[in-house]
Amino acid sequence: MHSVKKQILIGADSFEKVVGGGYFYIDKTLFIKELLENRGEVTLITRPRRFGKTLNLSMLKSFFEAGKDNSHLFDGLKIMEHGDIVEKHMGKYPVVSLTLKGVEEKTYEQSLNSIRSLVASVYWENRHLFEDDILDEWQKKDFRTYLDKTATEEELKSALLFLTRCLHNHYGKRVIVLLDEYDAPINNALMEGHYQEMIKFMRGFMGNVFKTNDHLEFGVLTGVQRISKEGLVSGFNNPKVCGIVDAVFADSYGFTEEEVVEACETYGHGDRFCDVKRWYDGYRFGNRDMYNPWSIVQFLSSGMLRNYWANTGGLDILRDIFLKGSNALKDDMAGLLTDNPIDMRYTDQTTYPISYRNDSAFWSILLNAGYIKPCADEVVGNRFYAELVNREVKDILAECIEYWFAQQQNDMHHATQTFVDCLLRGDAEGVSKSLNENLLQNPSYHDYKEENSYHMFIFGILLAVSRHYTVLSNQESGKGRSDCLIKPDDKSGTAVVIEFKHLKERQESSSPASSPDDTMEPWDLAEEARKGLRQIDEKAYVHMLRSEGYPQVHKYAIAFHKKTCQVAMESELLAKV
């Protein structure tokens, strides 16, 4: 028995609107029970963007808030099976709920004005305190300051603290404070150049309400990163941090495989689940395998497998890898793109400004942001291998490479396109000329020291400019894994297989070489390229292409030494199997 097919409301993050309106909703109400059993006085939950953080906090508000009967919203949902929790906690607390994810301004003053407006909205929701003469004259004056958006910077830091005091005095119950996307203004300030001012403000804004506040029942914060700058979170009273490697709340954010299977069946996409899994699965929270909820909902609505997550923002850090990153960092990004995992040590505290170096702090940022995941199903300790999450994330990274190539000189963009055109039509001389005379000589590209560097270079070009081809790396085929496979979307077109060879520096030695291979001269490149062609045949790398019905393949072996190369190529007609 499958669920009833309901209308999908894209982009809605109000629990009352989604559930009350009868729209598609996957039940996450047991998060309420788990929170009550595992919370600290202040609980920080970190998850990637668009993973239901705002919707879950909206659900908490609907469940806990006093003065309003929301029980009808939870009829038939899992939390109602726990009568003791419902009786003790539903509708029993004043709640202050604020989301900061819209603070994306260019300047610090504009950001403060944006926060003033958000605070004013929260005060407007509680205007009954002002209108019913619950406050004294001094409190009314301060309340009006926040409502009218005229609070100074220092006054704004105490906005949430003052509101909890007013609500506590009125209801006689301590207040639950929900702060959504607490790190959004900080991340934006980092990119826009007013980080120091914003971090100082947020320390006061958050510290006043979450630290030594007698009016606080408990607080819940959500964000993408745990920012460690000068005790921004650790300075709170008994903070509990629940990140993506922790088991608690593991299935409360994102969709489980069982939930996705049922949703696909309900919306008529059951036969496409394997493709859905390849595109949108792969996130690992604690020991649970989770799907991207934003992309799943978009797919259920449109029926189209494509990259939805990239349109939600947050790509600056990936783009900056190629603009600001060290050579070692770019090389490891090459490894990720070509299915080679990175060795990392996870740290749950993010330090800004970001250092674009090949270190665990940077990889931890990418892990928290949802771009990479642990390779193992279960993580023991904080050291593990990590890989790109899924097809969607690979596409996002390809778009960032395209952005990087677009920043290069116009002549290099032309040379890049020429290289790809020659590669696809089987013009070995043109491929060699494009590489040796243009691309490998360009100062925009870093020095190549390992075979993987060349792999990244070629693979990046192909991802950036190939629109009607599927580009695969380290794909198992025949008796091994080819470095690069290029398959046209049109099965009547010609495919390409590439093998890379890298000759290292000539070995300096005063003793005679023990064998011809002990010294490598640049003129060995041609022979090394021919060896690469023989490897393609011996390992039967074209087997998959033949079985898929492609009529012809261009086989390339490219041997590199520093910034020069030799290209060997053969074309083969593929008989049908």
Does the structure show a pLDDT above 90 at 451?
no
Facing residues of 495 across strands? 553
Give the model's pLDDT for residue 296: 96
Sign, Cα dihedral of 189, 191, 195, 199: positive
Sign, Cα dihedral of 58, 60, 65, 71: positive
Indicate the pTM of the whole model.
0.82
Is the Cβ–Cβ distance between 283 and 254 less than 8 Å?
yes
Residue 284: strand, helix, or coil: strand
Does the structure show a pLDDT above 80 at 507?
no
What's the pLDDT band for 168 if we cut at 50, 70, 90? very high
Q: Give me the percent of the chain exceeding a pLDDT of 90.
A: 54
Largest CA distance in the chain: 98
Cα–Cα distance for residue pair 61/97, rounded to 1 Å: 7
Residue 178: strand, helix, or coil: strand
What's the pLDDT band for 532 if we cut at 50, 70, 90? very high
For the domain bounded by 408-506+517-573, which CATH number is listed?
A: 3.90.1570
Does the structure show a pLDDT above 70 at 315?
no
For all residues of the chain together, what is the average pLDDT? Answer: 85
Which are the contacts of 119, defined by CB distance < 8 A and separation ≥ 6?
98, 146, 149, 151, 156, 159, 160
Number of H helices, E strands in the chain: 23, 16
DSSP label at residue 354: P
Paired tokens of 7:
């209308």
Give the model's pLDDT for residue 320: 77
Tally of CB atoms within 10 A around 276: 21
Average pLDDT of span 441-470: 60
What's the pLDDT band for 520 if we cut at 50, 70, 90? very low
Give the model's pLDDT for residue 512: 44
DSSP 44-83: EEE--TTSSHHHHHHHHHHHHBTTS--GGGGTTSGGGG-H
Cα–Cα distance for residue pair 503/179, rounded to 1 Å: 55
Break the chain into its structural domains and give their ranges: 28-240, 255-303, 313-393, 408-506+517-573
Which are the contacts of 173, defined by CB distance < 8 A and separation ≥ 6?
66, 92, 93, 94, 217
Is the Cβ–Cβ distance between 250 and 285 less than 8 Å?
yes
Cα–Cα distance for residue pair 244/350, rounded to 1 Å: 14
Does the structure show a pLDDT above 80 at 577?
no
Cα–Cα distance for residue pair 399/418, rounded to 1 Å: 20
Give the model's pLDDT for residue 495: 93
Q: Give me the percent of the chain exceeding a pLDDT of 70.
A: 84
DSSP 106-130: SSHHHHHHHHHHHHHHHHHHTTHHH
The closest alpha carbon to 392, from 310, 456, 313, belongs to 310
What's the pLDDT band for 173 if we cut at 50, 70, 90? very high
Tally of CB atoms within 10 A around 355: 15
One-letter amino acid for residue 561 of the chain: H
pLDDT, tens digit, 9 for 90 and up, residues 45-94: 999 999 999 999 999 999 999 988 999 999 999 999 999 999 999 999 99
Does the structure show a pLDDT above 50 at 571?
yes
CB burial class (10 A; 0-12, 13-18, 19+) of residue 479?
exposed
Is the Cβ–Cβ distance between 542 and 536 less than 8 Å?
yes
- Which of 268 and 460 is assigned the larger pLDDT? 268
Highest mean pLDDT among 124-138, 350-364, 476-490: 124-138
What's the pLDDT band for 255 if we cut at 50, 70, 90? very high
Is the Cβ–Cβ distance between 555 and 536 less than 8 Å?
yes
Burial 376-403 (b: 16+ CB within 10 A, else e): eeebeeeebebbbbbbbbbbbbbbbbee
Give the model's pLDDT for residue 513: 43
Orientation of helix 293-302 relative to helix 273-280, angle to 10°: 140
Give the model's pLDDT for residue 205: 95
Give the model's pLDDT for residue 300: 96
Residue 513: strand, helix, or coil: coil
Facing residues of 99 across strands? 180
Among 238-242, 462-466, 548-552, the range scoring the smallest mean pLDDT is: 462-466
What's the pLDDT band for 485 if we cut at 50, 70, 90? confident
What's the pLDDT band for 183 if we cut at 50, 70, 90? very high
**Dihedral angle computed from the Cα positions of residues 422, 425, 429 and 433, in that order, rounded to the nearest 10 degrees:** 0
pLDDT, tens digit, 9 for 90 and up, residues 85-127: 999 999 999 999 999 998 999 999 999 999 999 999 999 999 9
- Which of 480 and 282 is assigned the larger pLDDT? 282
**Dihedral angle computed from the Cα positions of residues 273, 279, 284 and 289, in that order, rounded to the nearest 10 degrees:** 0
What's the pLDDT band for 568 if we cut at 50, 70, 90? very high
- Which of 504 and 385 is assigned the larger pLDDT? 385
- Which of 354 and 88 is assigned the larger pLDDT? 88
pLDDT, tens digit, 9 for 90 and up, residues 334-347: 678 767 788 888 88
Is the Cβ–Cβ distance between 202 and 160 less than 8 Å?
no
- Which of 458 and 525 is assigned the larger pLDDT? 525
* Residue with the two structure tokens 């009125």: 170
What's the pLDDT band for 534 if we cut at 50, 70, 90? very high
Does the structure show a pLDDT above 90 at 332?
no
Average pLDDT of span 207-234: 85
Strands (E), 298-407: 342-345, 372-374, 383-388
Cα–Cα distance for residue pair 457/420, rounded to 1 Å: 12
The closest alpha carbon to 272, from 264, 280, 281, belongs to 264
Half-sphere exposure (CA, 13 Å, Cβ side) for 103? 30
Phi, psi dihedral angles at 211 (to 5 degrees): -115, 125
H or E element, residue 457: helix 451-465
Residue 40: strand, helix, or coil: coil
Give the model's pLDDT for residue 275: 92
Does the structure show a pLDDT above 50 at 457?
yes
Highest mean pLDDT among 292-296, 352-356, 404-408, 486-490: 292-296
Cα–Cα distance for residue pair 418/434, rounded to 1 Å: 7
pLDDT, tens digit, 9 for 90 and up, residues 11-21: 899 999 999 99
Give the model's pLDDT for residue 519: 46
